[in-house]
Amino acid sequence: MKAFCFKFSVFSSGLAMLAGAAEPLPLSTSYWKDPAFQKAFNGSYRIEARIEPTVSSEERGLLVEVQGLMEKGDRKAALAKLKGSALTAKSAALTFNLGNLHFEEGDLDAAVKSYESAIKDYPSFRRAHRNLAMALVRLKKTEEALGHLIEAVRLGDSEGATYGLLGYCRVERGEWASALQAYRMAQVSEPDTAEWKAGVAQCLENLNARDEAVALLDEVIRQRPEVPSYSTLQASILLDLGRSEDAVKALEFPRRLGRLDGDGLLLLAELDLRAERADDAKEVIDEAFALEVKPTTARVLSVTGAAAMLREWDLAEMLVGKAMPAEGEAPRALRLAAARIKIESGKAPEEGAGDLAKLLKEDPTDGEALMALGKYDVSREKFGEAELLFERATAVQETAADAWVELARLRVGATRYEEALKAVDEALKIRPGGSLEAYRASLQKLVDAAG
């Protein structure tokens, strides 16, 4: 059987950038202390009788007492007074204010319970929906928060904080156009809030308006130079624009100030690698892993992919080794990367294949492991075993298209042109257009000639 010649690619994901992921930029801790947020939140203590629960004279008297304690800065006493009153459990307005005090004391779980109780008693309680969403966002429960933000807007809320957090939740869903609209609405009443500007920039980047995003991030970084994620996002966009050296400059300044986090440092290492500065990349990688908070696995894999493409195997091996946890089992993605490095570098191909087999024993539906082991079998001319592995990979959504292409190549190598054509057609159902259409046309000629 004649082998079809092709390059065994190590990391099919290549240099995937984090900025493109459906993950919102983190709200900096300073946002919750921002004057715009404080103004919006403190305003929620005011009673809006037209659209929210009415307050009896007795309840109003209790609220006046609570307000007096708060003006003295004694929030704990205010909290105790509300919790100790028999009126609170019967009043949506008092329960809501109890939630606010819990929120300010940092007891977010208790705040959520109070807000939910207020909404149960009074479903159209607009501020309760909004403040519940705020607490849920801080608890990283953005999917739950989204529904309450939408309800607050439906009930007439037009605060910048509400729209800004709505944009934040939309980004996590990858709904870039809707998120952009929400962030811009937030800017109407809070034009100087850095988080909303950064949100607009992230949306613009994902909607291919990168030049505008870079310019807007210049403003954000001037406002919040202490937040490394903004510089990292700007560097990622500059890289997409082909402005690699500008991306390096964007990261070097916060690095010199000691404000660049592990992911930002690894992005800088990736830029150094792409500029063929492997020694500089190694230095930055060491710096990243010396931090208390280590880089994310996603960023590690991105830099590992860059090192693999440049055949900097020692660096790739070092990086994956540093990312491996000292205790417990490593993430599957890291174990898969380590196995691929062993194979493609030629240092320990049989050991790497054994590692892939272990991964598949744990999860027979791991498409990436199936593809990697199949390609290894092709390199050893074990075409039957490779074909079986690729066929299994066609059942996995993430790898199906690539698996059909590899099956087509194998079958062409064995002069099984009609079967190869069927495999290409399956691939085209999943990934239409592109160079695969031209490949199909050439293959059709072979089928016609053989017929």
pLDDT at 46: 53
Average pLDDT over residues 185-204: 92
State whether residue 337 is helix, strand or coil: helix
pLDDT at 20: 35
Please, which pLDDT band fits residue 33 given cuts at 50, 70 and 90? low
pLDDT at 178: 96
Q: How distant, in Å, are the alpha carbons of 64, 264, 338, 342, 376 from that of 380?
A: 81, 39, 20, 15, 7
Please, which pLDDT band fits residue 104 given cuts at 50, 70 and 90? confident
- The mean pLDDT value of the chain amounts to 87
Degrees to nearest 5, angle at CA 92 with 91 and 96: 120
Please tell me whether the overall predicted TM-score, pTM, comes out greater than 0.75 for this model: no
pLDDT at 327: 84
Q: How distant, in Å, are the alpha carbons of 296, 303, 433 from that of 235?
A: 17, 15, 31
Please, which pLDDT band fits residue 6 given cuts at 50, 70 and 90? very low
Average pLDDT over residues 135-164: 95
**Rounded distance between C-alpha atoms, residue 360 and residue 337, angstroms:** 14
Average pLDDT over residues 188-194: 90
pLDDT at 413: 92
Q: Bigger pLDDT: 382 or 256? A: 382
Average pLDDT over residues 296-323: 93
Please, which pLDDT band fits residue 2 given cuts at 50, 70 and 90? very low
- Alpha-helix residue ranges (DSSP H) falling in 224-347: 228-240, 244-256, 262-274, 278-289, 297-309, 313-323, 332-344
pLDDT at 32: 53
Q: Bigger pLDDT: 2 or 81? A: 81
> Does residue 36 surpass a pLDDT of 70?
no
Angle between helices 108-121 and 92-104 (to 10 degrees): 160
> Does residue 123 surpass a pLDDT of 50?
yes
Please, which pLDDT band fits residue 8 given cuts at 50, 70 and 90? very low
> Does residue 14 surpass a pLDDT of 60?
no
Range of lowest pLDDT (45-59, 244-258, 285-299, 303-317): 45-59
The answer to whether 113 and 97 have CB atoms below 8 angstroms apart is no
> Does residue 12 surpass a pLDDT of 70?
no
Element (H, E) at 68: helix 57-71
- What the chain holds in terms of domains, given with CATH numbers, is 364-451 (1.25.40.10)
Q: Bigger pLDDT: 14 or 74? A: 74
pLDDT at 30: 56
Range of lowest pLDDT (42-51, 299-308, 353-362, 395-404): 42-51
Average pLDDT over residues 290-298: 92
> Does residue 10 surpass a pLDDT of 50?
no
The answer to whether 307 and 316 have CB atoms below 8 angstroms apart is yes
